């Protein structure tokens, strides 16, 4: 489908966040459908695959230029990323590269340069696909997702955002404003490992985002998140618990594999198989733990 | 210094030079007009296709929603088709399904409307009443014939190639005895999967009718295939049909036979509506409805001496034709003719069978059956080498066909045999022997291995095909010493236009800028045969050369001392009128093929190639990366070395994609992944560095000093080289394509659990 074949969407570009919230509240009250457009990389795919309800056509609201959704800011040990910051901007941002290298690294694996120039973390979170690479990367930091509506601002912990396949606790009148990453100690170990269908323009079969603070052979803080191994981004709670409770030297491949297997629930789909994903999830987690010094 | 009396020789030869592509500037600047770039004609409608949602059934009715406004919509069904047959080899495929549907996506009705948005609603307002029938999706199941879906037994074609003991009256028994008498007998099964051509430009066509008859312009490889199909379907005289190629964005075989169908569809709508009709497939429709590479399953059994001398080859080649015959007989033919690989066999029994399934017809795709059987024989020789405890490369080198040897069809090879040189050069460049001996390199969780494949590909049509085809080319002398080449050979991105200009320029002794190549239109160009079978340069190029030389000789005959070619040419035109050299192809007189016994000179000559792939397999994720890819290819003579290497490297990458990631996923006869998001072709990042060596063992009858056909060659062997390298790296032999991480993981897990027992 080319642009000229698009249905004739009504389009709005409110000037401010407040205006956007008011518009959303009003439409939500009237049960009118709205699409929030940041980079449009999911929207265009949904349109071309006919997956978007078209009767009536939703109002397309461009939020990609709202100041409140732009920019990257470091507040002490918290990194705040505007929801409409593109992957390319993240890739080039010296603060992100310095303080959240995992996020910067992940951006290279998103689609290709054109997608990177359009796509945003906020969009990735709103779509809430379990295959979202951006979500797996930031989820390793256990971030807070800030959403806004006329009712005020709400801070949603990552673990409480996704409720099921492409479903979140964000209400219809709320929009994602920013992602706040509580940063681990500077120089903490990290890993981004995407296993895709090819080296670019690929959707993940398995993708691991991981950060860890290690001292004295023990892991203090750990963040693990894997894409595409369940209906939501998998945060691997049992694996995290095992790793923080056990000296690295005492971890074994078998115990790690066992908890990872409990933490993930992948399916067979067009991209891969359940068996392969379980195996690969175990393998990439062990790969990270090996880097930390575990004999797994 | 050149002789002042011979101005036409003052130009430096251009054959062998990397001249600028004639079509290059227009394509990179966006000036070139592909079919959907052609401006809309007055009153033009958009056309769309209503397709079967079921894989097999009785078509009871085509129903139009009475509540829909059909006043500005044209609808065409089978009863609007004058002669409802797609003219090709067998008359089994309807232009529009009439009583039965035999595959998912089969065209049943056509609609046209000026408003594209309304057109989509009109398609949805057509309902098909189909009573489902049991369907068959698997070739082995089809061969069993429990459910008959085609003919009397589902079998469309059979071929048998015999040699040595198998030639006897009791051939089968005699062959078995010879096989069993061998020191080492190895049996194996090898299979390959569908592959989508995935040309950049999807299929598309514009058709209209006027006082001259019917016109169709679009993306195509073979204008005269479309011409023949129209002649049959519309019962027209040849001169009433005008088929013209638009600039075409890739084909790979996918625009060999399919454009006939979409062109007839557009013309049927145009006829009924009285308006020009444009039909452009989007990617999903193109992916679902058009042809793919035939899946295959080969059972191979060979016998050899203890020292690795190959003796007996038995192979059963099974190909899945899809719902209709289309080109499957020819694909199967090329498949069995390449089944013996490039090796000496004393006794041969190769049986080929193609069967119908209720899937879209499989069709032409670069390699045309040869990649399937090359996969089987190359993987099998890897298995034989494993059994013998020698290196596969050594086994292949030892048994390689050479001057005077006879092939599986008892063709005795003479001349232009570059196989051995390709082996030496590819092995040397890649350090193959030492790397194989050293064994895999495991660093951390990555294992590296290397593997090779050795193969050849016959140029031109099989057997007596070229003799029957009688391809023709015309070269005209124009004012100002210019030449125009008129042929039906299309440039679909592979460089035909440039190469024909190079050949003609050197043959006539004129500058390449004095040569133009006509747009292939059946109204203007003779039937040179289709743009297929690695025949464009080798076969059609050779008559371009002869025709250009003939024109030059006519000019030369009237040229006065000191006179330029242009001046002499102009005078010839003024005195004698138009000058056209029309030349028909004649295969070399010694080509002798027995179509009944499938014996003799299957092809006049073969191009040879050796691939060496070095891969790295991730031992955690089983992702395979091709790190380096070396090839040496005997091309006879490279007319344009850069484009020649481009063909070889592009074809190798297509083979790597087929080997590692491309997979059409089916569910009940429907394609689950009909888009580029999840049908995984390699990107530039996935492509390895290619190290391509051109070997030139000239073919006496090839143009430009001996060129052979190489368009398909690189598709044949890339997959088996990659699989051999993967086996070297991780010790798991995969005999069934593709080698996705999931399949490698499953095979590895299986071999581990077997080892544990």
Among B620, B673, B742, select the one facing A272 at the smallest CB separation: B742
Domain layout of chain B by residue ranges: 7-32+471-584
Question: How far is the C-alpha of B466 from the C-alpha of B538, rounded, in Å?
Answer: 12
Query: Which residues of A are less than 8 Å from B749 in CB distance?
Result: 275, 279
- Kindly report, residue by residue over A115-131, the tens digit of the pLDDT: 999 999 999 999 999 99
Q: How confident is the model at residue A33 (pLDDT cuts 50, 70, 90)?
A: very high
Q: Residue count of chain A, please give it.
A: 296
Q: How confident is the model at residue B4 (pLDDT cuts 50, 70, 90)?
A: very low
**Region B49-75: what's the mean pLDDT?**
98
Q: Identify from A202, A253, A268, A284 which residue to disrupt to test chain B contact, counting B C-beta atoms within 10 A and taking the largest count.
A: A202
Q: CB neighbours (10 Å) of residue B419? A: 27
Cis amide leading into A56 (omega within 30): yes
- Kindly report, residue by residue over B713-742, the tens digit of the pLDDT: 999 999 999 999 999 999 999 999 999 999
Provide DSSP, B148-180.
Answer: --STTTSEEEEEEEEEGGGGSTTHHHHHHHHHH
Whether B683 and A200 lie within 8 Å, measured CB to CB: yes
Query: Which residues of B are less than 8 Å from A286 in CB distance?
Result: 620
Q: How confident is the model at residue A3 (pLDDT cuts 50, 70, 90)?
A: low
Q: Identify from B117, B120, B621 which residue to disrupt to test chain A contact, counting A C-beta atoms within 10 A and taking the largest count.
A: B621
Query: Which residues of B are less than 8 Å from A194 in CB distance?
Result: none
Q: Identify from B677, B686, B740 which residue to disrupt to test chain A contact, counting A C-beta atoms within 10 A and taking the largest count.
A: B677
Encode burial over A115-124: b for 16+ CB neighbours within 10 A, e otherwise: bbebbbbbbb
- Kindly report, residue by residue over B444-453, the tens digit of the pLDDT: 999 999 999 9
Q: Identify from B745, B747, B749 which residue to disrupt to test chain A contact, counting A C-beta atoms within 10 A and taking the largest count.
A: B745
Among B117, B282, B661, select the one facing A198 at the smallest CB separation: B661
Question: What is the residue-averaged pLDDT of chain A?
Answer: 96
pLDDT (0 to 100) of residue B3: 43
Least Cα separation, residue B117 to chain A (angstroms): 8
**Region A204-222: what's the mean pLDDT?**
97
Among B623, B678, B684, select the one facing A195 at the smallest CB separation: B623
Tokens of B85: 């047959």
State how far the alpha carbon of B53 is from the alpha carbons of A91, A96, B63, B225, B685, in Å: 45, 50, 14, 28, 37
**Region B273-296: what's the mean pLDDT?**
98
Q: H/E/C letters for each residue in B334-351?
A: HHHHCCCCCECCCEEEEE
**Region B588-614: what's the mean pLDDT?**
96
Query: Which residues of B are less than 8 Å from A205 in CB distance?
Result: 741
**pLDDT exceeds 90 at position B694:** yes
Question: How far is the C-alpha of A204 from the C-alpha of A206, rounded, in Å?
Answer: 5
- Kindly report, residue by residue over B200-241, the tens digit of the pLDDT: 999 999 999 999 999 999 999 999 999 999 999 999 999 999
Least Cα separation, residue A59 to chain B (angstroms): 19
Whether B745 and A275 lie within 8 Å, measured CB to CB: yes
Fold designation for A67-182 = 3.30.465
**pLDDT exceeds 70 at position A4:** no
Q: CB neighbours (10 Å) of residue A129? A: 21
**Region B531-552: what's the mean pLDDT?**
97
Tokens of B561: 């001392």
Q: CB neighbours (10 Å) of residue B485? A: 25
Whether B673 and A270 lie within 8 Å, measured CB to CB: yes
Least Cα separation, residue B742 to chain A (angstroms): 6
pLDDT (0 to 100) of residue B7: 44
Q: How confident is the model at residue A47 (pLDDT cuts 50, 70, 90)?
A: confident
Give the contacts of B301 (CB within 8 A, at least 6 positions apart): B179, B185, B186, B187, B188, B313, B314, B315
Among B116, B672, B742, select the one facing A276 at the smallest CB separation: B742
| pTM of the predicted model over 0.95 | yes
- Kindly report, residue by residue over A134-155, the tens digit of the pLDDT: 999 999 999 999 999 999 999 9
**pLDDT exceeds 60 at position B2:** no
Phi first, then psi: give them for residue B82, nearest 5 degrees: -55, -50
* Residue closest to B341 by CA, chosen among B581, B99, B609, B577: B609
Whether B746 and A276 lie within 8 Å, measured CB to CB: yes
Question: How far is the C-alpha of A28 from the C-alpha of B643, rounded, in Å?
Answer: 59
Domain layout of chain A by residue ranges: 3-62, 67-182, 192-292
* Residue closest to B384 by CA, chosen among B308, B298, B297: B308
Q: How confident is the model at residue A2 (pLDDT cuts 50, 70, 90)?
A: low
Least Cα separation, residue A281 to chain B (angstroms): 9
Taking only residues 45 to 84 of chain A, the set having a beta carbon closer than 8 angstroms to any beta carbon of chain B reads 45
Give the contacts of B332 (CB within 8 A, at least 6 positions apart): B157, B159, B294, B317, B319, B321, B352, B353, B354, B369
State how far the alpha carbon of B214 is from the alpha carbons of B208, B494, B520, in Å: 6, 29, 16
Q: What is the ipTM of this complex?
A: 0.95
pLDDT (0 to 100) of residue B752: 87
Question: How far is the C-alpha of B536 from the C-alpha of B711, rounded, in Å?
Answer: 9
**Region B377-397: what's the mean pLDDT?**
98
pLDDT (0 to 100) of residue B10: 54
Least Cα separation, residue A286 to chain B (angstroms): 10
Least Cα separation, residue B93 to chain A (angstroms): 30
Query: Which residues of A are less than 8 Å from B621 in CB distance?
Result: 195, 206, 280, 283-284
List the B579-584 sheet strands across, edge first: B515-517, B482-486, B472-478, B579-584
pLDDT (0 to 100) of residue B299: 98
Residues of B with CB under 8 A from a CB of A: 116-117, 282, 445, 620-623, 661, 665, 672-673, 676-678, 680, 682-686, 741-742, 745-746, 749
- What does CATH list as the number for A192-292? 3.30.390.50
Whether A195 and B117 lie within 8 Å, measured CB to CB: no
Taking CA–CA distances from A285, the nearest residue in chain B reads: B620
pLDDT (0 to 100) of residue A54: 77
Whether B661 and A1 lie within 8 Å, measured CB to CB: no
Whether A272 and B680 lie within 8 Å, measured CB to CB: no
pLDDT (0 to 100) of residue B6: 45
Q: How confident is the model at residue B165 (pLDDT cuts 50, 70, 90)?
A: very high
**pLDDT exceeds 90 at position B316:** yes
- Kindly report, residue by residue over B346-372, the tens digit of the pLDDT: 999 999 999 999 999 999 999 999 999
Whether A273 and B742 lie within 8 Å, measured CB to CB: yes
Taking only residues 185 to 244 of chain A, the set having a beta carbon closer than 8 angstroms to any beta carbon of chain B reads 195, 197-203, 205-206
Domain B7-32+471-584 top-level CATH class: alpha beta
Question: What is the residue-averaged pLDDT of chain B?
Answer: 97
Please return the burial class of A258, using the count of CB atoms within 10 Å of its CB with bins 0-12, 13-18 and 19+: middle
* Residue closest to A133 by CA, chosen among A104, A176, A99, A113: A104
Taking CA–CA distances from A6, the nearest residue in chain B reads: B117
């Amino acid at each position: 489908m080319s642009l000229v074949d698009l249905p004739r969407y009504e389009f709005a570009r409110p000037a401010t966040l407040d205006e956007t919230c008011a518009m959303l509240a009003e439409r939500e009250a009237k049960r009118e459908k709205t699409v929030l457009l940041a980079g449009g990389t999911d929207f265009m795919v949904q349109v071309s695959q006919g997956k978007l309800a078209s009767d009536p056509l939703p109002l397309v609201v461009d939020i990609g230029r709202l100041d409140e959704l732009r920019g990257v800011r470091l507040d002490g040990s918290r990194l705040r990323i505007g929801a409409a910051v593109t992957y390319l901007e993240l890739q080039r941002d010296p603060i992100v590269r310095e303080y959240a290298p995992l996020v910067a690294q992940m951006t290279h694996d998103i689609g290709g340069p054109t997608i990177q120039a359009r796509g945003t973390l906020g969009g990735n979170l709103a779509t809430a696909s379990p295959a979202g690479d951006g979500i797996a990367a930031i989820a390793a930091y256990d971030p807070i997702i800030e959403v806004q509506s006329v009712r005020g601002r709400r801070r949603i912990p990552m673990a409480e955002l996704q409720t099921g396949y492409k479903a979140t606790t964000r209400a219809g009148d709320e929009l994602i404003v920013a992602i706040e990453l509580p940063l681990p100690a500077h120089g903490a170990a990290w890993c981004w490992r995407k296993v895709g269908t090819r080296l670019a323009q690929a959707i993940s079969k398995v993708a691991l985002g991981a950060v860890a603070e290690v001292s004295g052979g023990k892991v203090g803080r750990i963040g693990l998140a894997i894409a595409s191994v369940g209906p939501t981004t998998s945060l691997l709670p049992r694996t995290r618990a095992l790793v923080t409770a056990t000296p690295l030297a005492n971890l074994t491949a078998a115990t790690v594999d066992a908890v990872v297997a409990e933490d993930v629930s992948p399916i067979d789909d067009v991209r891969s198989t359940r068996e392969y994903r379980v195996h690969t999830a175990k393998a990439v987690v062990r790969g990270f733990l090996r880097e930390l010094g575990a004999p797994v | 210094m050149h002789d002042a009396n011979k101005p036409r020789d003052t130009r430096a030869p251009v054959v062998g030079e990397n001249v600028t592509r004639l079509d290059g500037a227009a394509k990179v600047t966006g000036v070139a007009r592909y079919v959907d770039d052609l401006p809309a004609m007055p009153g033009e409608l958009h056309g769309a296709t209503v397709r079967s949602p079921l894989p097999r059934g009785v078509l009871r009715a085509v129903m139009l929603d009475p509540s829909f406004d059909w006043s500005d919509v044209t609808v065409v069904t089978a009863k609007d088709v004058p002669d409802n047959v797609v003219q090709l080899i067998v008359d089994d495929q309807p232009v529009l399904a009439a009583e039965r549907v035999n595959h998912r996506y089969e065209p049943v009705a056509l609609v046209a409307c000026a408003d594209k948005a309304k057109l989509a609603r009109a398609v949805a307002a057509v309902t098909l009443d189909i009573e489902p029938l049991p369907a068959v999706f698997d070739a082995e199941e089809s061969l069993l014939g429990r459910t008959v879906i085609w003919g009397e037994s589902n079998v469309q074609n059979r071929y048998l190639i015999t040699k040595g003991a198998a030639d006897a009256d009791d051939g089968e028994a005699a062959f078995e005895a010879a096989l069993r008498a061998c020191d080492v007998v190895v049996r194996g099964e090898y299979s390959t999967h569908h592959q989508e051509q995935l040309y950049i430009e999807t299929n598309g066509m514009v058709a209209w009718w006027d006082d001259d008859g019917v016109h169709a312009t679009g993306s195509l490889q073979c204008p005269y295939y479309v011409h023949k199909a129209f002649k049959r379907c519309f019962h027209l005289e040849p001169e009433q049909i005008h088929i013209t190629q638009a600039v075409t964005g890739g084909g790979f075989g996918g625009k060999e036979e399919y454009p006939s169908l979409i062109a007839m569809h557009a013309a049927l709508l145009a006829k009924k509506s009285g308006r020009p009709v444009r039909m452009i497939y989007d990617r999903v429709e193109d992916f679902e409805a058009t042809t793919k590479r035939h899946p295959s399953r080969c059972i191979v059994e060979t016998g050899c001496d203890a020292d690795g001398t190959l003796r007996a080859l038995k192979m059963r080649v099974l190909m899945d034709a899809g719902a209709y015959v289309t080109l499957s007989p020819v694909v199967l033919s090329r498949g069995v003719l390449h089944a013996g690989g490039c090796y000496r066999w004393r006794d041969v029994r190769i049986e080929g069978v193609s069967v119908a399934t209720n899937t879209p017809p499989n069709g032409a795709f670069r390699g045309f059956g040869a990649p399937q059987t090359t996969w089987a024989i190359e993987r099998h020789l890897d298995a034989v080498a494993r059994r013998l405890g020698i290196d596969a490369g050594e086994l292949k080198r030892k048994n390689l066909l050479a001057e005077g040897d006879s092939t599986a069809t008892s063709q005795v090879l003479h001349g232009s045999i570059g196989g051995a040189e390709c082996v030496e050069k590819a092995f040397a460049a890649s350090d193959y022997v030492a790397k194989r001996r050293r064994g895999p390199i495991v660093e951390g969780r990555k294992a590296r291995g290397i593997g090779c494949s050795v193969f050849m590909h016959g140029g031109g049509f099989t057997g007596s095909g070229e003799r029957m085809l009688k391809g023709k080319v015309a070269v005209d002398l124009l004012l100002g010493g210019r030449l125009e080449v008129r042929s039906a050979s299309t440039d679909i991105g592979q460089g035909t236009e440039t190469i024909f200009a190079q050949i003609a320029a050197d043959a006539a002794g004129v500058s390449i800028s004095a040569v133009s190549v006509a747009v292939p239109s059946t109204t203007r160009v003779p039937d040179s045969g289709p743009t297929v079978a690695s025949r464009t340069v080798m076969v059609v190029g050779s008559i371009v050369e002869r025709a250009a030389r003939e024109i030059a000789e006519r000019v030369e005959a009237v040229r006065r001392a000191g006179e330029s070619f242009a001046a002499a040419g102009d005078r010839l035109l003024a005195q004698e009128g138009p000058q056209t050299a029309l030349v028909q192809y004649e295969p070399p007189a010694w080509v002798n093929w027995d179509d009944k016994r499938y014996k003799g000179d299957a092809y006049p000559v073969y191009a040879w190639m050796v691939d060496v792939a070095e891969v790295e397999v991730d031992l955690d994720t089983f992702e395979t990366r091709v790190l380096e890819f070396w090839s040496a290819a005997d091309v006879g003579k490279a007319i344009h070395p850069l484009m020649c290497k481009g063909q070889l490297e592009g074809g190798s990458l297509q083979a790597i994609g087929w080997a590692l990631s491309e997979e059409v996923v089916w569910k009940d006869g429907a394609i689950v992944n009909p888009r580029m998001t999840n049908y995984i072709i390699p990107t530039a990042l996935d492509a390895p560095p290619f190290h391509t060596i051109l070997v030139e063992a000239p073919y006496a009858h090839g143009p430009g000093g001996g060129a052979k056909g190489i368009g398909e060659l690189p598709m044949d062997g890339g997959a088996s080289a990659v699989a051999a390298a993967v086996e070297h790296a991780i010790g798991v032999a995969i005999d069934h394509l593709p080698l996705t991480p999931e399949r490698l993981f499953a095979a590895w897990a299986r071999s581990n659990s077997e080892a544990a027992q």
